[in-house]
Chain A
């Protein structure tokens, strides 16, 4: 099976842009869709990106997703950072047997 590796934490100032990476350890990042979840403290996760780059209804277009086959990674980019974006972010994909794989999570601090 493969692992998804995320940075433990990132920080950036309000109004700036931040990118969170998610690197797949083996197999192609493009072979299975990647999802991104936001989890604010004390709350359940919510989906901010699905199928690599799709935004659910209600998610602002400040959130975008992409994959890069050269680095075998997916990225979540948040532009125009707001203090309300401060949360944990998790990437997720599937293996060839439809089992779910989560990244370890990245704590985003907006300061």
Chain B
């Protein structure tokens, strides 16, 4: 059974940092592109970052330079380092695995507030 379990969310002050993790199991992690997607309360899905099987990374303009995606295939793990956090980054963050079919985790809540 495919499982993606996010962790590391919580309350952080504006300007602070947070590192999210996603533990994968039930599939060949190294063969999947991995994504982070977020959703603010009552809003739609917003893509945050992606990392390919070769380690190539992609970001939208809204997080480029502040967020860093990385993966550790030996640990079947995905990470998102978030720096210079803003109130607008408050959302549930989902990790997703893509290789044709796309699998989703259950999400972790990040709240940026003073």
Chain A interface residues (CB < 8 Å from chain B)? 35, 37, 39, 44-47, 50-51, 54, 56, 90, 92, 97-105
Contacts and interface: CB of A to CB of B under 8 A. Distances in A.
Interface residues of B, number: 20
A90 B101 contact: no
B22 interface: no
Contacts of A90: 44-45
Contact of A105 (B45, B50, B103, B105): B45
B100 interface: yes
A102 B45 contact: yes
A105 B47 CA distance: 13
Interface of B: 35, 37, 44-47, 50, 52, 56, 58, 60, 94, 100-107
Given A97-B58, A98-B52, A99-B58, A46 B104 contact: yes
B111 to A, nearest CB: 17
Contacts of B102: 35, 37, 47, 50
A54 B100 contact: yes
Most chain A C-beta atoms within 10 Å of own C-beta, residue among B46, B47, B106: B47
B44 A102 contact: yes
B47 A101 contact: yes
B34 to A, nearest CB: 12
